[in-house]
Structure 1
């Protein structure tokens, strides 16, 4: 696991003197833990069914709980420490709820993007995805939970999505660009994924 916490003091989510996240299995070996988490979350996602709106922070938290509840005691709970990846700092813990609620309220005001023409839809999805990604409300599992959330939003709009053909490097770069409000790459990726 990469050390993506910032701030002073030890990370309360990891085992002492380790970067492995505390888990229900007591696994402390990094490689073994990564494999177990991947396997369990892939199985869990198969049991999660589509639900119609409202899509909000509570719904996002429920998806995270469903994905990671067998692994983490804190699944579905908002993180209590500030985190970053590389030079990207995610939302301060005191701003997670207000910022998420603001964006989800805006999404609801736009009827969860239902009825938009395809070209407008992918632009809006890229913007919302990028803006919500900055929030990163959980200690781990943000990307998987957010992609699942957006699958539900997209299905609700009458389309299908598959992230399978996306190269991880281009996905990361699109997210970095989106962090800086440059949505073109994310828009192009959604255009490739959504039918």
Structure 2
């Protein structure tokens, strides 16, 4: 299944909707399992870093997660993509739109000093907006979650994604397409935990 509805494109093996990959897996289910396993291992080894965060930082996270799967890991996509009724940012606007999100984060001092309630509201909005940029051909959600782990940790709060049902996660991101951030706020209310003390980069 081509979950982005892009049909045949240069990222896929000819005549298929399976993304070309360094493991030469031609079955989409097998590729999805490999993606999950490799990216989970890579994520466990990624260090927390302090801001500033920007699009190159997100690209670096994506490269670390998927460099053993895709030759284009960390590279901005060159194809317009959509998923269901959601059409993501045009390739010609990716850098500009991502810059808007990261500039807003910087202007808000990366949410440092925010209360938990204010953090939930702010993170939901910026996460939803950055998701619409969708800078990579695949693996956007995983890379973006790592980025926001760092944002939330830097703001002084615990973060745990495991309490959120996958269907709830998808629905919340779809709602954010039309600037309804309340479902994402509900998601982050589950994910963002207590304040933490003495956090430092490793």
| TM class, shorter-length | over 0.9
Task: Give CA-to-partner distance per residue, 1:55-90, whole Å, 9 cap, x none.
Answer: 110110000000001110000000000011100000
Runs of 4+ with >4 A deviation = none
Equivalent in the alignment of 1:144: 142
Task: State the SS of the aligned residue for 2:104.
Answer: helix
Q: Map 1:20-39; keep pairs closer than 5 Å.
A: 20-39=18-37
CA contact under 8 A between 2:8 and 2:16: conserved in structure 1?
A: no
Please say if residues 55 and 102 of structure 2, whose CA atoms lie closer than 8 Å, have aligned partners that are also in contact: yes
Please give the secondary structure, in 2, of the residue aligned with 1:160: strand
Tell me the residue number matched to 2:68: 70
In the other structure, the counterpart of 1:104 is 102
Runs of 5+ consecutive residues of structure 2 not aligned to the other structure = 194-202
TM-score using structure 1 length: 0.96
Q: What secondary structure is seen at the aligned counterpart in 2 of 1:164? A: helix
Distance 2:175 2:9 in 1: 28
How many residues are treated as equivalent by the alignment?
193
Q: Distance in 2 between matches of 1:42 and 1:128?
A: 24
For residue 12 of structure 2, the aligned residue among 11, 14, 29 is 14
Query: Partners in 1 of 2:119 and 2:182 — Cα distance?
Result: 13
- Offset of residue 31 of structure 1: 2.0
- The whole-number CA distance in structure 2 between the counterparts of 1:39 and 1:189 is 24
Give the distance between the partners of 1:29 and 1:173, measured in 2 at CA: 27
Contact 1:61/1:77 (8 A) holds in 2: yes
Shift of 1:33: 1.4
Q: Work out the CA distance in 1 between the residues paired with 2:5 and 2:76.
A: 14
Secondary structure in structure 1 of the residue aligned to 2:157:
coil
Counterparts in 2 of 1:185 and 1:3: CA distance versus 1, 3 Å: closer
- 1:1-195 alignment, distance < 5 Å: 1-6=1-6, 10-195=8-193
CA RMSD in angstroms, aligned pairs only = 1.1
**1:5 and 1:81 in contact (8 A); partners too:** no
TM-score, normalisation: structure 2: 0.93
Other structure's SS at 1:122 match:
helix
**Match of 1:66, SS?**
helix
Is contact 2:8-2:17 (8 Å) kept?
A: no
Which ranges in structure 1 are unaligned for 5 or more consecutive residues? Answer: none
Q: CA deviation at 1:5?
A: 4.5
Aligned residue in 1 for 2:198:
none
